Chains A and B, each alone.
Chain A
């Protein structure tokens, strides 16, 4: 158990819908990262927050948005869902924001868009 929690575990929805994925980082970690992993694919970095502020942006679609709240939990919002958005979405956390930080991954949310 990494100490990072993600809810829900599974999500099944239809095209065009909007969903929110939630992540709680490890106690004491200020940085939160979101990744997308499609079937048998690598991890695509989406976005990073540090202590409530956006720190780095990856290949995140305009239909997707995220935020980190004062209690440090984070939410990833996916809207106008398409079939291709079906994937595993991982949240990770680390103590600080820099490159030399081990990332602790949550169990992931499996999103299925029908």
Chain B
């Protein structure tokens, strides 16, 4: 059945280092969304990717959708303490699924 794996589960970085989280699907996705959840907060929409090979940037965040639309990544350049939180990918396959999330901790 439909399965999307998100890795890594946790990432601890020093402030200023880069961070990447990946979502990999066993089947082709029609689209993928990314959300961020701050500690104690609720998920907040970051971006949506629809096209094969799509790359979108938001300041220090770069989002990619693979050519085969089976994987996606979120890359943060030069992390800051404000980047702390859990990053989820999300997709729709008849119903809605969120990836297991990557918890990012940034040490100042």
Contacts and interface: CB of A to CB of B under 8 A. Distances in A.
Interface of A: 2, 33, 35, 41-45, 48, 56-58, 90, 92, 98-100, 102-108
Contact of A58 (B48, B95, B101): B95
A43 B94 contact: no
B43 A90 contact: yes
Tell me what chain A mostly uses at the interface: helix, strand, loop, or mixed: loop
Contact of A99 (B30, B42, B44, B45): B30
A99 B49 CA distance: 11
A41 B41 CA distance: 14
Contacts of B98: 35, 42-45
The 7 A-B residue pairs with the shortest CB-CB distance in the complex, in nearest-first order:
A99-B92, A43-B98, A105-B42, A56-B95, A45-B96, A102-B45, A42-B100
Interface in B4-50: 30-31, 33, 41-45, 48, 50
Given A99-B30, A100-B48, A103-B90, 5 more contacts: A2-B42, A45-B97, A102-B48, A103-B45, A107-B41
A41 B31 CA distance: 23
Given A45-B97, A48-B96, A108 B45 contact: no
30 contacts: A2-B44, A33-B96, A42-B88, A42-B98, A42-B99, A42-B101, A43-B43, A43-B88, A43-B98, A45-B97, A48-B95, A48-B96, A56-B94, A56-B95, A56-B96, A57-B95, A99-B30, A99-B91, A100-B48, A102-B33, A102-B45, A102-B48, A103-B33, A103-B43, A103-B90, A105-B42, A105-B43, A105-B44, A107-B42, A108-B42
B58 to A, nearest CB: 14
B12 to A, nearest CB: 15
Of A105, A106, A108, most buried by chain B (CB within 10 Å of CB) is A105
Given A42-B100, A48-B96, A56-B95, A90 B88 contact: no
